[in-house]
Amino acid sequence: MPGFKLVLASGDFIASIYPEKKRDVENHALNFKQALWREYFAVRDLLYKMLGRESLVVVKGKILTNHTEYLEQAEIPWLQSHYRDWTRDALTQANGETILFNEAWKAGENWMPGSPLGEGGTVLVRRNAIVVGEETAYGSSLEIEELEQEGYKVATLPPVTNPRSGFIPHHVDGQATLLETKTGELVLIIARSYEKQDDGKTADATSLAAETIGAHKIVIDDRRLPPLALNLIQFDDFSIAMTAGAPRLENLLKGLVGKDRVFTTDTPIRLIPSNTEGGIRCMTNIFPEALITPVS
């Protein structure tokens, strides 16, 4: 979109991750760090391939400084440190309208005006359809009412209670994704492990959410998918950026948006989500250029 850029996290968060499970690291912490960086670079290189240098920037970090041959680096004034690593939760974009997360932005000693709806991991948006985690919706009733008055269809999803998910409970973008097909239809894809929790109550909630926003619901078996495989990105041209290693999901998406519109990383993204509770979508977000300060 003119006036906007996709912002990729700096990668500094990798410094704080240490191996807890021997099977993840082959008993060697250095191998673990190298594997994490390999996944991060796979995400970076995929986005560069899809968007090019003009539409993509990376948050200037303290560790990695060799992005410049690929990407422009940027400072984001007023954005608090946690959200430089997880840019998705800094703000939400709804048809060009920017909603800041009220806990992410601070100018001096003053918090900038915002809303719980700005915590992007709790919100899925496509066209005039919005799906929101219940906790976020509860704290944003006035904003949601305003969006509905503007013509948005807003639905809610319950938190994740399944312990195998390994994800932040109220972040719906790890267990669901909202897409638009090549024919303009909305599709809400739900992870089976999430759908089956709570003895069918969540299944009822996801069906109601799909009905509310006018989407077709598809449930996919996530038992053999990389962690948080549904934490993917769809751009305005319908193209999708996702992890490798998920052939069933990849083929489903190709059927929905076209074979030439689905792009995967060159290696499966497994260690980052399993150790940080965040995936490709969590590491990226579309920012207005007015919030970005390029670093020469």
Query: Alpha-carbon distance 130 to 202, whole Å?
Result: 18
Given a cut of 90, whether residue 3 has pLDDT beyond it is: no
Query: Alpha-carbon distance 287 to 284, whole Å?
Result: 9
Q: What is the pLDDT of residues 121-160, one digit of tens each?
A: 999 999 999 999 999 999 999 999 999 999 999 999 999 9
- In which element (H, E) is residue 247 found? helix 247-257
Q: What is the pLDDT of residues 236-247, one digit of tens each?
A: 999 999 999 999
Q: pLDDT-based confidence at 29, cuts 50/70/90?
A: low
Structural domains in the chain plus CATH codes: 4-295 (3.75.10.10)
Query: Alpha-carbon distance 127 to 286, whole Å?
Result: 15
Given a cut of 80, whether residue 164 has pLDDT beyond it is: no
Lowest mean pLDDT among 58-67, 176-185, 249-258: 58-67
User: Average pLDDT, stretch 186-206?
Assistant: 94
- In which element (H, E) is residue 138 found? helix 134-138
Q: What is the pLDDT of residues 246-294, one digit of tens each?
A: 999 999 999 999 999 999 999 999 999 988 889 999 999 999 999 999 8
Percent of the chain residues past pLDDT 70, beyond the cut: 91
**DSSP secondary structure code for residue 259 in this structure:** G
Per the DSSP assignment, residues forming a β-bridge with 285 are 7
